[in-house]
Structure 1
Amino acid sequence: MIDTAFLITSFVTLFVIIDPIGLMPVFIAFTPGMSPAQRRAIAFRSCAVAFFVLALFAFFGEAVLGFVGISMAAFKIAGGILLFLTALDMLFERRQQRREDRVTDLPDPSVFPLAIPMIAGPGSIATVILLSGQVEGVQGPLLVLGVAVSVMFVALMLFLAGSLLERALGDIGINVVTRLLGMLLAALSIQFVLDGLKDFGFV
């Protein structure tokens, strides 16, 4: 039986860490003067590459951790701390500033830096490994990848409608949404740390 609470938590966590709303103005900055067809191609390609990377870590990430001798409990704590630092960046606007600093005149930014590391970065990779490990067997990665597809779809839609949404929300609107998502991510990251401590028997 599919755990609805797990799916909702997974979607919220991945959505917050990938932050499609925050990526939208960055996508626009990477594609100045391009035709709608070129922008569509870059949007589809970046989301497809990012999904492939996340799928790879969803299925084999825990095996890699086991190979190097890292327990899932330890990774939960480390991943929670990493996500908490990301949340702080969102709350204090440092994350968006770093993204904007990466904007260069790359001919095709779909693979780098849009897909990697902006969509499939350390935070989202850690998240899919953590979430996949919460459900035993192959069902965990499959559920997480299903959620990842929905998040990628939202990101794709925002990329395609980026210029319209950016004008509608404005800088203030995007800033408010990013900070709210940062607060939510901070709470979720603490939960990951507590789960890891519980696995160690400290809580």
Structure 2
Amino acid sequence: MNTCCNINETIQDFQDALFAYTLTNVEDKEQAEDIVQEVMYRFAKAYQNNTEIQHLRGWLYQTTRHVIADHFRSLSPSSELTEQMEILPDEPAEFELEDELIAQMIKLLPEEYNIPLLWSDIDNVPQKEIAEKLGLKLSATKMRIQRARKMLHEMFLECCEIVYDKNGNFVHCDIKITCTPLLEIEKSLTGKSD
């Protein structure tokens, strides 16, 4: 598995987000916890089997969608909820596009911040390894990554119209027309023209 070096860090990084995503679909805390636990079990198994995962975030969300769909199918094969789950996007390309857009947003940050954040959050390089590559102490590397995340968050709030679901969880964002750099990036990634 070339995208993950520390399984414990990866589980810690994604567990809360996957739980929030799952909870918006099943609306039951215990079931959501069980589903996320199953996803993490499958991830740990893939890790042990050295399964190559090109886009970790996309793989985790796709697996989560499959486990949620399996959950609803087990309740009732003709359930209306199962039909709703079939509507959920199933293509990893959607997540690949999101990952690429975020990576391009990160590249808009100053280089001293964008490099460690790209390595950490996009390439899943452990922070200790990033510190060694940059010739920095681990604490300085962690601080740069945290500052970069804050800068990215501010850019995100400034440039995106954020859409939330009924429970207040993030669903997606639309780039504001005033944010030319991101509109150009989106255009180049999706092939959209004016």
Q: TM-score, normalised by structure 2?
A: 0.28
**Structure number, greater radius of gyration:** 2
Q: TM-score, normalised by structure 1?
A: 0.27
Which structure's residues are more often helix, by fraction? Answer: 1
Which structure's residues are more often strand, by fraction? Answer: 2
Using CA pairs under 8 Å that are at least 6 residues apart, name the structure with larger relative contact order, 1 or 2: 1
